[in-house]
Structure 1
């Protein structure tokens, strides 16, 4: 959400910032101001009518006591008219507020001036590189390597076939040593972030309500990217089923159809809906929702290792082979809560450095990219992507995204802090980043540490987590 007073006071700044996101998006300012004007007029009309009602209601009793029936009748008519105006203005207020809130909820955050202008990834700017890609003759794809590795029981350690049979495309079952390496990577990342970088480990819920996703900005705009874990199907399916059943029983029983549909609608409107988290950013950031924090507690830094669930609605045909783009994957998330923009930008550099340290200790070559306005996530004001070298693709691929969100999420969550006792609460600023995506890190390790015989050398930092194992041998 955004401060409507700030938009009122400086509409051109918002118009220009949104146009940097997407040409023409700044026109939303005119619509915002139109709804805001209608809202304020309705509020004023209601308040004026309430004043008329209250003042004249007091006079009615006096006129009746004085037996002035004509005056009493006139006053009663004024009160009745005021009540009608209050009701109408109240409906107009609610309608205008709903339209304004829906519009503001669906708009992306304002990019900082330092964010480069661009429409897609071609506009991103490389900041620096670390490490030299290892020369590998005819590097194999991680999926080919993983499928060729056999577990102790003789099954493929990267088992796509079994996963597809039970869950469909974009799922994998890791087995044997590769499953242990995935666990080792997550444990290594968590230990690094908690023991050396000061993050507090959290084991958060994996199912969240609408409010949590609205708070971090995944709803309403990115609903199609989420998995709904509600125990009932959508309302249209229920209605169609009820209509068919009732019509088969009695084609003329219209009243029964209406009654059942009304009951179904009520049940669905009151159902307890949950969503599978797309990332631990959602529950970690919502740890401070609807709170007023003491400034002495900031910054807060949280980390969590969780499964993540995404429908990948807009990725048809992309990375269909392997583990790059799955519906379910593991990730170590980093979230920070700070006071203001100055602290937020400093924290962004720190957070990105914490994510980079994982890649450095794994000795995986990477580069840092500053995302342009058109490639940045909707909730971000500034974002760095870390891209790791993938030998089989002869290019760098995203493995972490670290974003500064300003007070965008805090306003939606009503998360505030107080600088000192008695001071007016202010909205906190939030950041989130991957530290790292575990599955993609596994992909990078497999490909960068592959040997000619198909075996995988275990990176030095992971060996203590794998019982001293040095090589995942090919069968």
Structure 2
């Protein structure tokens, strides 16, 4: 959510920032709504002041034994006017909020200009791509040949874009989650959480999925939403809260299922585990001080990268351009892991600094030390640390052997009961 006062102070700068996202100017529309809102509020204030004045006159007239009938009639009339004015002011407020709620966050100054993924900038890469003495297969070919990755049965049970993992691949999912959580909590200071997987309208509005991206979500019959990522419940820990400055940053991590409708994904990644309706992820969320959110963003990205380093999976970090960022983000790093079966880098984590954009929507604030009255909005950040399914995909493709087995990274073997590889009979 944007601060209308900032737009009022420099509408041209706001429109220039929207243009960097490839969006049309909106300041004229927003300022017109703001003027209508302020006029409605001013009218309400004037009626309130007039009513208070007349109420005082009624009291004084009665104390003197004078007839106050006319004054009382005027107070009653003003009360009716105020009711209508309150409704008008509330509608004017809501009209402005509706438009503001559909406008994405503005890109940070160091975000590169661009319209789509072709404008993204590579920041760094790590690890060497393996030289195979055979043609590497895609993960679903390996998984199906092992008899441990079953898309056909999953489709029978639930439809397309689901998978049934069995045996050692099911164990691998659990191992990856435990490994990531141990790393993030034990070495990086995140607090592990098990949040609700169903949330209310206010929660998905607070993180920016509503109202614009409702079609990307699954909704239950009682009006709740299945979480698209644990970012939603974890970030909303700060909703309607006033935190003490000394408590910042708050860092949370959670392993959870995620549910996405994949609206608009027809024809994309129809085979395999890359793009599914249900998947698991270890999420990272930080509630940070505004002055330290940029440093927190770099730290969070490094934590996600460390998972890939420990697993010895080659990757690159991309700084997303202004036209390719998510709705709530002001700056995003995508971490892309190398998939030899596809011969391409694919996203495995997005780490985003949202500034105060989400905090304004969810009213998440902190109280500066020594200030008993004033509060400021916190900054929120989120990132995958990592997506479990895509990490499994990367392990299968990078560690596959000619005989169809999959070696296990050293870091995972303690979580796999000491197993060194996954075979058809593993």
TM-score with structure 2 setting the length: 0.95
Give the Cα separation in 2 of the matches to 1:61 and 1:397.
Answer: 75
Is contact 1:45-1:85 (8 Å) kept?
A: no
Match of 1:387 in 2: 336
Give the Cα separation in 2 of the matches to 1:124 and 1:324.
Answer: 21
Give the Cα separation in 2 of the matches to 1:348 and 1:72.
Answer: 66
Taking the TM superposition and a 5 Å limit, the aligned residue runs for 1:114-193 are: 114-136=110-132, 137-149=134-146, 156-193=147-184
Counterpart check, 1:111 vs 2:107: yes
Give the Cα separation in 2 of the matches to 1:148 and 1:432.
Answer: 36
Distance 1:418 1:59, change over 3 A: closer
Q: Whose Rg is larger?
A: 1
Match of 1:54 in 2: 52
Give the Cα separation in 2 of the matches to 1:467 and 1:53.
Answer: 77
Give the Cα separation in 2 of the matches to 1:121 and 1:412.
Answer: 28
Query: Partner of 1:317: helix, strand, or coil?
Result: coil
Match of 1:8 in 2: 8
Write the deviation string for residues 26-75 of structure 1: whole angstroms up to 9, x where unpaired. Answer: 2x221211111111111111111222223234435666888987x954x4
Point out the more displaced range, 43-52 or 399-408.
43-52
Residue 94 (structure 2) aligned to one of 74, 98, 105: 98
Point out the more displaced range, 11-20 or 447-456.
11-20
Query: Partner of 1:392: helix, strand, or coil?
Result: coil
Taking the TM superposition and a 5 Å limit, the aligned residue runs for 1:350-429 are: 350-423=299-372, 424-429=374-379
Give the Cα separation in 2 of the matches to 1:47 and 1:292.
Answer: 29
TM-score with structure 1 setting the length: 0.85
Give the Cα separation in 2 of the matches to 1:457 and 1:292.
Answer: 49
Query: Partner of 2:341: helix, strand, or coil?
Result: helix
Unaligned runs of 5+ in 1: 150-155, 232-272
Is contact 1:331-1:434 (8 Å) kept?
A: yes
RMSD of aligned C-alpha atoms? 1.8
Give the Cα separation in 2 of the matches to 1:346 and 1:360.
Answer: 21
Q: How many angstroms does 1:422 deviate by?
A: 3.1
Give the Cα separation in 1 of the matches to 2:365 and 2:79.
Answer: 38
| Count of paired positions | 423
Q: How many angstroms does 1:439 deviate by?
A: 0.2
Counterpart check, 1:31 vs 2:22: no
Match of 1:257 in 2: none
Write the deviation string for residues 2-39 of structure 1: whole angstroms up to 9, x where unpaired. Answer: 22222211222211111211231x2x221211111111
Q: How many angstroms does 1:146 deviate by?
A: 0.3
Is contact 1:405-1:429 (8 Å) kept?
A: yes
